[in-house]
């Protein structure tokens, strides 16, 4: 069934057992919504020097948006900010590929569990669900960086 | 033959959907590797019968011209067809005069048009500081935001009726909500998310008592039941063509003639004038006063043919069909474990749009798994987010029926929801 390409077991696992859910301390908080379906996320970023110290979040939404936030937490916490931004950029490219990018080994190494979302990119209505937490993270990180000048490189603008 | 449902029970009052469905080519479509399309998103938009499609093609092939100008044969034919559509709409809603029917692009534009008229109007209609606008918590965003804008721009106060726990308007404090300060009361006849049919008489009575105007959003009513603007007793009624078998891009505002004469135009341009000089202009009488620019001509003609189609079947028969189907659907849905209807639990005073939640499975996921089985429903907040907030839910899944919907499609939905539960169970 084609559905399985969207609802990979990895995604359903993250949906049922989310990582890092709940709001904890951070330097910046953002609230993003997906106006078409009402999905919402409140996300906080804590930076420890040049490292992503924590990404905490609370929200409501479909399995794709919730699993995506869980994967983000697992993937980005503990990474250097620059590397985390590269991962975010790679994920964004994958999600905007309309199913045209078949993740190779190199991409799998960067994205780990997040490659499971490749199938979602074929469903235009669901891409925003997968990206909700990632765009919120990008926004919150930019805010955290601008509040603590000199602590880390400025965030790169993504497409 | 009375169609038999899967439970073996005959449903009285159903239309001959087998014959009707032959007029709707898209209903034969196969989707997702050969699955039969089960179209249950009629509250969002209805499908278009061959008769309307043919009328659109014929218009462009034989009669295309701009209306109300030019003396050539095509211009005259186009004008006659366009104005003929106005006659059909007027008769469809039992308007006292055809001049009370204004063509707009959709119901949203109709609602915005009235909000703007009242912002620019003279006394006694003028909405300004010290006056109040009344709506309800059940409205589509298109009957909330135009009034919020009007309130912000004029300093008027926006008030609203809340909702009861059984998904109806709470009119218990009607005399405190609609007061001497109220200039306009605008409310939905049938809710697009809850399916609730609202009590018009009580609201109109109170509004008239205090001299307030009444506007009714009939977007989810006009396609499904006989609509009589004189019986409603409102001052303005809005609806849209694409939910009643017509094309997109055509909506209707019906307004009482004396009001349309008194109220100022909103959009200026060609067609809506009498004379223009560089210093000032005078305006054409209604409805043209409110139809600046080249109107949606083919769309209006298409709507007229859609109305012919609905009339040929009969609005009362359509209402009876949907009533029977809704009753059956409510019954089948009640059998689905963890399913909670968000709206009136019986078919009493309700339309054929049924919203529900399914355990804690997000509607987006419900809709996706249903789509994979060829079942088209709407998921989300249905442009009625305040309703979701009121009942503490993020979103709903909504199935909505029309004259071509069948008990078999209700069964397909029930079976599809079992699949959803298995998938996320």
Q: Which of A1, A36, A63 sits opposite B362 (nearest CB)?
A: A63
- Measure the CA–CA gap between B213 and B203, rounded to whole angstroms: 11
* pLDDT level of residue B7 (50, 70, 90 thresholds): low
Can you read off the two tokens belonging to residue B63?
A: 């009669």
Assessment of whether the complete model's pTM goes beyond 0.90: yes
* pLDDT level of residue B184 (50, 70, 90 thresholds): very high
Query: Chain A neighbours among B 4-43 (CB < 8 Å)?
Result: 32-33
CA B317, B318, B319, B323 torsion-angle sign: positive
A34: nearest Cα among A134, A158, A138: A134
User: Could you count the other beta carbons within 10 Å of the beta carbon of residue B270?
Assistant: 13
As a whole number, mean pLDDT of residues B322-326 equals 97
Residue B335 CB burial class (10 angstroms; 0-12, 13-18, ≥19): exposed
Residue A13 CB burial class (10 angstroms; 0-12, 13-18, ≥19): middle
* pLDDT level of residue A102 (50, 70, 90 thresholds): confident
- Measure the CA–CA gap between B56 and A23, rounded to whole angstroms: 56
Q: What is the pLDDT of residue A157?
A: 42
Whether A61 sits inside 8 A of B385 (CB atoms) is no
pLDDT at A150 over 80: no
Q: What is the pLDDT of residue B120?
A: 95
Query: For residue A54, which phi and psi values (nearest 5 degrees)?
Result: -160, 150
Element (H, E) at B329: helix B315-334
pLDDT at A2 over 80: no
Closest chain A residue to B368, measured at CA: A3
Can you read off the two tokens belonging to residue B9?
A: 């029970």
Chain B nearest-CA distance from A40, in A, is 9
**Chain B residues close to A40, C-beta within 8 Å:** 394
Closest chain B residue to A120, measured at CA: B368
B213: nearest Cα among B133, B106, B130: B133
Q: Which of A1, A38, A129 sits opposite B372 (nearest CB)?
A: A1
B303: nearest Cα among B248, B246, B251, B249: B246
- Measure the CA–CA gap between B316 and B41, rounded to whole angstroms: 21
In this complex, is the C-beta atom of B372 within 8 Å of any C-beta atom belonging to chain A?
yes
Q: What is the pLDDT of residue A101?
A: 86
* pLDDT level of residue B281 (50, 70, 90 thresholds): very high
pLDDT at B8 over 60: no
* pLDDT level of residue B69 (50, 70, 90 thresholds): confident
Q: What is the pLDDT of residue B51?
A: 98
- Measure the CA–CA gap between B101 and B87, rounded to whole angstroms: 8
- Measure the CA–CA gap between B101 and B332, rounded to whole angstroms: 41
Q: Where are the domains of chain B?
A: 17-36+314-424, 52-311
User: Could you count the other beta carbons within 10 Å of the beta carbon of residue B165?
Assistant: 8
Residue bearing tokens 């697009």: B192
* pLDDT level of residue A125 (50, 70, 90 thresholds): confident
As a whole number, mean pLDDT of residues B312-333 equals 97
User: Could you count the other beta carbons within 10 Å of the beta carbon of residue B258?
Assistant: 11
Residue bearing tokens 């050539």: B72
**Residues of B identified as active-site:** 383
Three-class HEC string of B74-89:
HHHHHHHHHHHHHHHH
- Measure the CA–CA gap between A114 and A118, rounded to whole angstroms: 8
As a whole number, mean pLDDT of residues B295-302 equals 98
CA-based max dimension of chain A: 51
Closest chain A residue to B385, measured at CA: A38
pLDDT at B99 over 60: yes
pLDDT at A159 over 70: no
Q: Where are the domains of chain A?
A: 3-143
Q: Which of A3, A37, A63 sits opposite B380 (nearest CB)?
A: A37
B167: left (phi over 0), alpha (psi -120 to 50) or beta: left
**Chain A residues close to B372, C-beta within 8 Å:** 1-3
Please give the DSSP secondary-structure letter assigned to residue B309. H
Can you read off the two tokens belonging to residue B409?
A: 């499609």
Q: What is the pLDDT of residue B9?
A: 58
Query: For residue A110, which phi and psi values (nearest 5 degrees)?
Result: -75, -45
pLDDT at B5 over 90: no
- Measure the CA–CA gap between A84 and B88, rounded to whole angstroms: 62
pLDDT at B59 over 70: yes
**pLDDT single digits (tens) B381-421:** 899 999 999 999 989 999 999 999 999 999 999 999 999 99
End-to-end CA separation in angstroms for chain B:
40
Residue bearing tokens 């298109």: B142
Task: Please give the class, per CATH, of domain B17-36+314-424.
Answer: alpha beta
Chain B nearest-CA distance from A39, in A, is 7
- 8 A C-beta contact, residue A44 and residue A143: no
In this complex, is the C-beta atom of B371 within 8 Å of any C-beta atom belonging to chain A?
no
Strand partners, B238: B217, B253
Can you read off the two tokens belonging to residue B240?
A: 């849209």
Chain B nearest-CA distance from A115, in A, is 20
Q: Selecting from 3.90.1010.10, 1.10.357.10, 3.40.50.300, 3.40.50.620, what CATH number does the domain A3-143 have?
A: 3.90.1010.10
Domain B52-311, CATH: 3.40.640.10
Interface size, chain A vs chain B, as Cβ–Cβ contacts under 8 Å: 48
Q: What is the pLDDT of residue A34?
A: 86
**pLDDT single digits (tens) A65-87:** 999 999 999 999 999 999 999 99
* pLDDT level of residue A1 (50, 70, 90 thresholds): low
Considering chain A, what percentage of its residues have pLDDT values greater than 90? 68
Considering chain B, what percentage of its residues have pLDDT values greater than 70? 98
Can you read off the two tokens belonging to residue B100?
A: 């009370």
Element (H, E) at A142: helix A124-147
pLDDT at B58 over 60: yes
Q: What is the pLDDT of residue A35?
A: 79
- Measure the CA–CA gap between B132 and B87, rounded to whole angstroms: 35
CA-based radius of gyration for chain A:
15
**Chain A residues close to B387, C-beta within 8 Å:** none
Q: What is the pLDDT of residue A148?
A: 65
Can you read off the two tokens belonging to residue B41?
A: 């998103």
Q: Which of B362, B364, B369 sits opposite A3 (nearest CB)?
A: B369
Considering chain B, what percentage of its residues have pLDDT values greater than 90? 93
The CA dihedral of B47, B80, B314, B91, to the nearest 10 degrees, is 120
């Amino acid at each position: 069934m084609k559905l399985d390409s969207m609802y990979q077991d990895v995604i359903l696992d993250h949906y049922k057992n989310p990582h890092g859910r709940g709001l904890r301390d951070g330097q910046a908080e953002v609230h993003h919504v997906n106006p078409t379906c009402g999905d919402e996320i409140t996300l906080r970023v804590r930076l420890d020097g040049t490292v992503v110290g924590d990404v905490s979040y609370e929200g409501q939404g479909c399995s794709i948006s919730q699993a995506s936030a869980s994967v983000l937490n697992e993937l980005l916490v503990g990474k250097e900010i620059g590397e985390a931004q590269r991962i975010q950029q790679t994920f964004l490219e994958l999600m905007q590929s309309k199913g045209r990018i078949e993740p190779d080994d190199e991409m799998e190494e960067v994205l780990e569990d997040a490659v499971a979302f490749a199938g979602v990119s074929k469903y235009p209505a669901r891409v925003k669900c997968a990206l909700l937490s990632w765009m919120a993270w990008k926004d919150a990180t930019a805010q955290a960086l601008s509040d603590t000048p000199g602590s880390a490189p400025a965030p790169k603008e993504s497409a | 033959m009375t169609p038999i449902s899967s439970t073996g029970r005959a449903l009285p009052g159903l239309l001959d959907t087998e014959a009707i469905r032959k007029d709707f080519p898209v209903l034969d479509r196969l989707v997702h590797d050969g699955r039969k399309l089960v179209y249950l998103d009629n509250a969002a938009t209805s499908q278009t019968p061959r008769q309307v499609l043919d009328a659109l093609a014929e218009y462009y092939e034989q009669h295309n011209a701009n209306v109300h100008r030019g003396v050539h044969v095509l211009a005259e034919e186009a004008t006659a067809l366009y104005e003929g559509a106005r006659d059909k709409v007027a008769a469809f809603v039992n308007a006292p005069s055809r001049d009370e029917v204004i063509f707009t692009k959709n119901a949203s534009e109709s609602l915005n048009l009235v909000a703007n008229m009242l912002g620019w109007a003279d006394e006694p209609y003028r909405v300004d500081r010290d006056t109040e606008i009344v709506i309800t918590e059940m409205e589509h965003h298109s009957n909330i935001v135009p009034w919020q804008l009007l309130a912000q721009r004029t300093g008027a106060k926006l008030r609203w009726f809340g909702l009861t726990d059984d998904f109806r308007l709470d009119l218990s404090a009607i005399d405190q909500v609609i007061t001497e300060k109220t200039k306009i009361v605008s409310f939905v006849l049938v809710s697009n998310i809850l399916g609730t049919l609202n009590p018009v008489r009580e609201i109109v009575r109170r509004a008239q008592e205090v001299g307030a105007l009444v506007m009714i959003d009939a977007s989810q009513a006009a396609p499904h039941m006989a609509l009589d603007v004189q019986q409603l007793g409102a001052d303005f009624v809005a609806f849209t063509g694409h939910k009643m078998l017509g094309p997109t891009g055509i909506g209707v505002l019906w307004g009482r003639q004396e009001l349309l004469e008194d109220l100022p135009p909103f959009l200026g341009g060609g067609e809506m004038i009498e004379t223009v000089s560089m210093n000032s202009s005078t305006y054409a009488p209604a409805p043209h006063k409110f139809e600046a620019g080249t109107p949606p001509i083919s769309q209006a003609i298409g709507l007229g043919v859609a109305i012919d189609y609905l009339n040929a079947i009969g609005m009362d028969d359509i209402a009876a069909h949907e009533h029977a189907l809704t009753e059956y659907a409510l019954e089948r849905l009640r059998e689905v474990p963890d399913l909670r209807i968000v709206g009136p639990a019986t078919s009493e005073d309700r339309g054929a749009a049924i919203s529900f939640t399914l355990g804690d499975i997000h509607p987006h996921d419900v809709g996706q798994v249903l789509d994979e089985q060829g079942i088209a429903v709407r998921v989300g907040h249905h442009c009625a987010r305040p309703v979701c907030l009121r009942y503490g839910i993020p979103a709903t899944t909504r199935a909505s029926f029309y004259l071509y919907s069948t008990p078999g499609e209700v069964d397909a939905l029930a079976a599809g929801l079992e699949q959803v539960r298995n998938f996320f169970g």
